[in-house]
Amino acid sequence: MQEIVLNHISVDKITDAVFAENGIGADVLRLDKIHPFISGNKWFKLRYYIREAKQQNKKTLLSFGGPWSNHIIAIAAAGELYGFKTTGIIRGEEPAELSPTLQQAKAMGMQLIFSSREDYKQKRIPLVSIDDTYIINEGGYGMNGADGAATILDHCRKEIYTHLCCAAGTGTMAAGLANAADPQTTILALSVLKNNHSIGENMFIGRWK
Ligand SMILES: *Cc1c(COP(=O)(O)O)cnc(C)c1O
């Protein structure tokens, strides 16, 4: 499994007529370049969970996700990379044919356990040996996730931007950015999940200030 290469991250200019006409400069921070399977922000959110799992001598990483979850694939790849077994609790019944995401996760050695929508919602974990298992929330949600995401901003000159924009699922990445950004910077987190109205209340913001 390929290593994570942080110095592949680049800051690329976005050239678009709409920006040009309005005198706006926009850059994209290319976190996607660090690894072929672990998409950038997913690794940043996982880094401190993985460190903690190692410290606690855990052997297995377990997490949750839907059939198209980049987080699940990142866990599977991180398991190979850092020497953990991995278990994915997957939302919904087992399909006749696995999604490409799940095929990939399985090929990387992840044990897939399908969970009915109701069980999934209740976070019922079919019992696997819990002792040596380190459990990570869906999407890497939590303080370690936000703290890891905060280190994303070590890879650009954060002080030159008026706004930082990102997509938000659990809001963990956005919380990390908000915690690490300069106080005058505006964070625009665009919620991309349906009916996710409580996202603002559930974000881990403000711990660092
Ligand atoms: C996973 C992902 C998100 C959502 O991250 P959260 O921390 O759950 O809000 C946003 N953007 C990209 C590119 C992602 O891969």
Distance CA 159, CA 181 (A): 8
Verify whether ligand 1 is closer than 6 Å to residue 115 (CB atom): no
The ligand 1 atom nearest the CA atom of 31: 13
All structural domains of the chain, each given as residue ranges with its CATH number in brackets, are: 6-35 (no CATH), 42-140 (3.40.50.1100), 156-209 (no CATH)
Q: Say if CB 16 and CB 47 are below 8 A apart.
A: no
The sign of the dihedral angle between the CA atoms of 127, 204, 39, 97 is: positive
> Which residue matches tokens 């990390």?
176
The sign of the dihedral angle between the CA atoms of 128, 137, 111, 76 is: negative
**Would you state the pLDDT for residue 146?**
96
Angle 99-46-86 from CA coordinates, rounded to 5°: 50
**Would you state the pLDDT for residue 196?**
78
Verify whether ligand 1 is closer than 6 Å to residue 40 (CB atom): no
**Would you state the pLDDT for residue 208?**
42
- 65 — phi, psi (to 5°)? 180, 170
**Would you state the pLDDT for residue 206?**
60
Q: Say if CB 199 and CB 171 are below 8 A apart.
A: yes
Verify whether ligand 1 is closer than 6 Å to residue 41 (CB atom): yes
Verify whether ligand 1 is closer than 6 Å to residue 168 (CB atom): yes
* pLDDT tens, the chain, 209 aa long: 889 999 999 999 999 999 999 999 999 999 999 999 898 999 999 999 999 999 999 999 999 999 999 999 999 999 999 999 999 999 999 999 999 999 999 999 999 999 998 888 888 877 666 789 999 999 999 999 999 999 999 999 999 999 999 999 999 999 999 999 999 999 999 998 877 777 777 777 664 43
